[in-house]
Amino acid sequence: MSEKTEAAPTKPPMRDALIAAAFQLFTERGYEQTTVDDIVTLAGVGRRSFFRYFPSKEDVVFPDHEGCLADVTAFLAAGDDADEPVQRVCDAVRLVLRMYTENPAFSVQRYRLTKQVPGLRAYELSVVWRYERAFAEYLRGRLAGRRDGALQADVAAAAVAAAHNNALRSWLRSDGEGDVGTEMDHALGYVRSAFGAPPSDAERTEDVVVLVSRRGAPLWRVVQEIEATLGED
């Protein structure tokens, strides 16, 4: 009876190996002191392999955002006219949250690194802006027929991004502990209440208008004041 041999450990894919090597060096040496040459040497690959996956050293810190942005854009494009626009964007931003929560340890490590390096913080803000622009572009298309539709789209998109970032950073500051989904629900609830669809006619409560007019005012003046008041809506 032959002896069973243990399988050799599987090497991580090259992209993952580069990310792991980069973050090991960032921790040991510091971000600014680590070069691309250092990363590829530790990973055991050539410079060409690094740039096949990452255009710059900054990109290795945010390796999943390009794919996530593509997923968000595709999700928004797959919606239809039956979707409430702001709700659709709130659902889309949860894809970004899922990207972070799939690997809490890495997300927390990146958060700490980004806080220490101003250049990475600026890069992160540019990434957030790209998500916000995707939200705004979708909302501009859906709200095009409304008064101030473009303005509503831009403000609502910024609000969704801000709500997401508030809940996410709270979770990251707690080292990835706690129920970030509940925090996100709470934050996005503010956005939906402020920018979501207004209630339908059936849902509206009946308005009561109280008008104070001068005693002895002619009827035509009273009617004019009522019409002016009702027209304010």
Predicted model pTM: 0.77
pLDDT of residue 205: 45
Task: Classify residue 229 by its DSSP letter.
Answer: H
pLDDT tens per residue across span 182-220: 999 999 999 999 887 654 444 344 455 555 666 666 655
Task: Classify residue 82 by its DSSP letter.
Answer: T
Q: How far apart are CA 22 and CA 7, in angstroms?
A: 27
Tell me the three state secondary structure of residue 10: coil
Q: How far apart are CA 38 and CA 22, in angstroms?
A: 8
Question: Residue 135, Cβ neighbours under 10 Å: how many?
Answer: 28
**Is residue 27 one of the residues assigned to a domain?**
yes
DSSP 121-146: HHHHHHHHHHHHHHHHHHHHHHTTTS
| 115 and 22 co-located in one domain | no
| 36 and 82 co-located in one domain | no
| 47 and 77 co-located in one domain | no
The residue-averaged pLDDT of 106-131 equals: 94
DSSP 203-217: TSPPP-------TT-
Listed residues 40, 56, 72: the one ending a domain: 56
The residue-averaged pLDDT of 7-24 equals: 80
Cβ atoms of 14 and 63 within 8 Å: the answer is no
| 187 and 88 co-located in one domain | yes
Range of the domain at 33: 14-56
pLDDT tens per residue across span 123-133: 999 999 999 99
